[in-house]
Amino acid sequence: MADVVIESLTCRYGDVTAVDNLTLTIADGEFVTLLGPSGCGKSTTLAALAGLDVPQGGRLSVGGEIFFDAASGRNLHPEQRNCGLVFQSYALWPHMTVQANCEFPLKLRKVGAEERRERVKEALELVEMERFADRYPHQLSGGQQQRVALARTLVYRPRVLLLDEPLSNLDARLRERSRVWLSQVTRQVGLTTVYVTHDQSEALALSDRIAVMNQGRVSQLGTPQEIYDHPADPFVADFIGSSNFLEARVAEAGTGGRVVVELPDGERLAALTGKAFAKGEPVLVALRPERLGISDSPPAGSGGNVLKGRLTGRSYLGARTLYLVDVGGRPLRVESHRSIAGPDVWVEVPESTCVLFPKEGAGAA
């Protein structure tokens, strides 16, 4: 059992609180991604787990063993934790060959020469790098270095695997391939894995669960599907899939989770939501650009939400086109594979894609 339990973790650098009272439990064998913009505290959390940063408060334990406990002052050194960490820069020791890099952790564990060779071979085979055992890191490409870094980490069978943006130094195509490969390898070894990234597509593709982090806290914890379909707050909705936001007011509280909101220009939108709203309450409506429809003519007899607007700009993305539409003075981004001429356009807003959030600070205003 190597479940990771993070309780009330707090990390400060001077006046800056990088991680703020973070609590998170990761089950044995689970792949959890810490996702967020730079400075959200995700890498700090990972460093605290590895023992490279000493937190100011909270408790960390893995498989029941306490790594860090502010209350009792217990803090294991990084070398005592048996974690595996793959660095963003790979951090392969440049003066050692691939073989020596992988052997080093085993030597530290006093593993005999024969078993060492065996296990290094096994690990390199796993990442398909066995042919490069005698090379030095500088003789390898970025993608190959990344594989070796993973092998070096897996070779000593750590209790948890920590990955710090391991794909961010690769070019776009290689990144996509490595994503698939990394997913296969981690499933194969079945280690509890904590993955840190700012790339939402990596997080969605790899994770069992995602913890979206913002300003040192977890904004939302859930499966990729939950996060994408039911963002917990405007930050998550914006960070994952970069939603449009419209200000509105609740017109009909309705029943069965159906709420009708009114935009400032009087247009009305119906939304399906699990949350309860009071009539007259100011809200934010989040709309995902790729879930909106767009057409040159009024859609016939759909009966759903339709907003009329003017096309103000377009950006050809290849598979799709991003349209900028002005709806009652507010810009709206719509992604579609259709070719639209404009200038008058109609935007279809399916009820299920409208996500409502109570407008923050509305009480004060």
Partner 1 sequence: MRTVEAARASVRARWPDRGAVVQWAVAAFTVALVLTPIVPVVLQSLMGRALYDGIGSFTARNYAGLVTSRTVLEAVGNSLVFGVLTTVIALVIGGGAAIAIGRTDMPGAKLFGELLLWPLYLSQLVMAFGFSIMYGPSGYVTLAAQAALGGHTPWSLYTLLGMAVVAAICEAPVTFLYCLNATRMADASLENAARVSGAGPLATLWHVTVPLMRPALVYSAMLNFTLALELLSVPLVFGSPVGIHFLSTFLYDEGIGASTPNYGLVGAAAVALLAIVTLLVWLQGRLLTNIGRFITVRGKATRPGRFPLGWLRWPVAALFALYAVFGVLAPLTGLALRGVTSFLTPLVPLWEVWTTQHLRMIVSSESYVRSVVNSVAISLFGGALATALVALVAIVTQRSPFRHARALEFVALYPRAVPGLVVGLGFLWAMIVFPPLGVLHNTIAILVIAFTMRYLPTGLGAVSPALLQVSPELDRAARVSGADWWTTSWAVSLRLLKPALFSAFALLFICFFKDYATAVFLFAPGSEVIGTTLLTFWIQGDTGPVAALAMVQVLLTFVFVYGVRFAFGVRVYG
Q: Report CA dihedral (219, 227, 268, 265) to the nearest 10 degrees.
A: 50
CB of 106: closest distance to partner 1 in angstroms?
8
* Between 89 and 225, CB nearer to partner 1: 89
φ and ψ at 66, to 5 degrees?
-80, 120
What H or E segment, with its residue span, contains residue 203? helix 200-206
Give the list of residues 6+ apart from residue 45 with CB closer than 8 angstroms, or none.
6, 9, 11, 19, 22, 34, 196, 213
Q: Is 56 exposed, middle or buried (0-12, 13-18, 19+ CB in 10 A)?
A: middle
CB of 353: closest distance to partner 1 in angstroms?
42
CB of 46: closest distance to partner 1 in angstroms?
11
φ and ψ at 331, to 5 degrees?
-75, 140
DSSP category for residue 298 = P
Interacting residues with partner 1 (CB under 8 A):
50-52, 77-85, 87-89, 91-95, 104-105, 108-111, 115, 152-153, 156-157
Structure tokens at 159: 């209790």
CB of 282: closest distance to partner 1 in angstroms?
47
* Between 162 and 307, CB nearer to partner 1: 162
Can you tell me the distance from the alpha carbon of 48 to that of 365, in angstroms, rounded to the nearest whole number? 40
* Between 87 and 245, CB nearer to partner 1: 87
φ and ψ at 19, to 5 degrees?
-130, 130
Give the list of residues 6+ apart from residue 344 with CB closer than 8 angstroms, or none.
296, 308, 309, 310, 311
Do residues 324 and 331 lie in contact, with contact meaning Cβ atoms separated by under 8 Å?
A: yes
Can you tell me the distance from the alpha carbon of 297 to that of 265, in angstroms, rounded to the nearest whole number? 21
Please give the radius of gyration of the chain, using alpha carbons only, rounded to the nearest integer.
Answer: 25
What H or E segment, with its residue span, contains residue 142? helix 142-154
DSSP category for residue 256 = T
φ and ψ at 306, to 5 degrees?
-135, 130
CB of 247: closest distance to partner 1 in angstroms?
43
